[in-house]
Amino acid sequence: MTTPAALTALTRAGVSIWLDDLDRERIASGDLGHLIAHEDVRGVTTNPTIFAKALSGASSAYADQIRELRESGASVDDAVRALTTKDVREACDIFSGLWRDSDGVDGRVSIEVDPRLARDTDGTILQARLLHGMVDRGNVLIKIPGTAEGLPAITETLGSGISVNVTLIFSIERYAEVLDAWMSGLERAHSHGHDLSKIESVASFFVSRMDTEVDKRLAAVGTDEAQALRGKAGLASARLAWGVYQEAMASDRWRSLAALGARTQRPLWASTGVKDPAFPPTLYVMGLVAPGCVNTMPAATLAACAGYTGEVRDTVSGTQDESRAVWDALSALGIHEPEVCQVLEDEGVEKFDASWAELLTTVQQALDDAVP
């Protein structure tokens, strides 16, 4: 079986395709290995929502471990950590060959700190180290939210030599702060004697949620001018973020770190599943093709990309003026990026909190129901 042409074209264009979905059934069935071999999937991310769905929808795959956890008297928090880190550890092993072949760039698997710690810097640092130790694989990425409180945790975690996936980034201003926190972390890691070439990082910029929020506001405005801007804010923000990334990569500070062996913190386009059925299902993939980026997509979006028959080309370079014009037009209608992004960040934290609460409830029920 050959890799679909569009997926091959994305890889050749410099896009690293990651799957935004992981559960034990996908691991045990061999599906994840198939996606690596035949769909050019080069990494996988997960989050509390995905884990909650996995544990509630495929509980039989976890039955043996849940029974063992009940017999050991594990708390629900300890059980969740044991269940999720086992999935991530096994996925890391499946990706280990790709990780080695790519010199540690791809073949990465992400696991997120407890979202209840999104506003707790010290708690995030402690759990990042705990998860890193529990997974105990060189190709794991610890996901830390890009909140104001998360920024110093990102620096400290990277400074400890731990690879990081910064998540929940919505604003251009916050993304610039994330780049600064990342470089500060590399500088700290170097001062602590860590090999910078072994530290990988990505910065997850969320896309479709931006359109969901902005388009709701455009509908409230209701004019033809407002309607013409539907589905444009997400791509514009991501493309502007790419410009911020390019500026950082051209800085003397980065050149000094690169000379020490540091790797770039690749922009990762997250939340790339289309929420509005009026838009093409590949909108946030084919609209964000750029050399050296990552696109993490749910299975349905991956399938849509596999069947894509259009041209695959760089759709990001040279779009800065056009993207700024989109936000200028939105601002003229009273829709301002800083306020929208703060709403999205707060909602993102709340949604992950709710998913974590659902996950805890699901696991507690499974522990209670487990047959000795």
Where in the sequence numbering do the catalytic residues fall? Answer: 143
Nearest Cα neighbor of 97 from 155, 50, 36 is 36
- Percent helix, strand, coil in the chain, to 5, is 60, 10, 30
Place of tokens 């999104």: 118
d(CA 130, CA 136): 10
Q: Are 40 and 12 in contact (CB under 8 A)?
A: no
Q: Are 84 and 45 in contact (CB under 8 A)?
A: no
Q: Which two tokens stand for residue 226?
A: 């407002």
Radius of gyration of the chain (CA): 20
Q: Which two tokens stand for residue 155?
A: 């620096």
Nearest Cα neighbor of 348 from 118, 152, 23, 121 is 118
d(CA 222, CA 53): 36
- Residue type, position 341, single letter: C
Q: Which two tokens stand for residue 81?
A: 């950590």
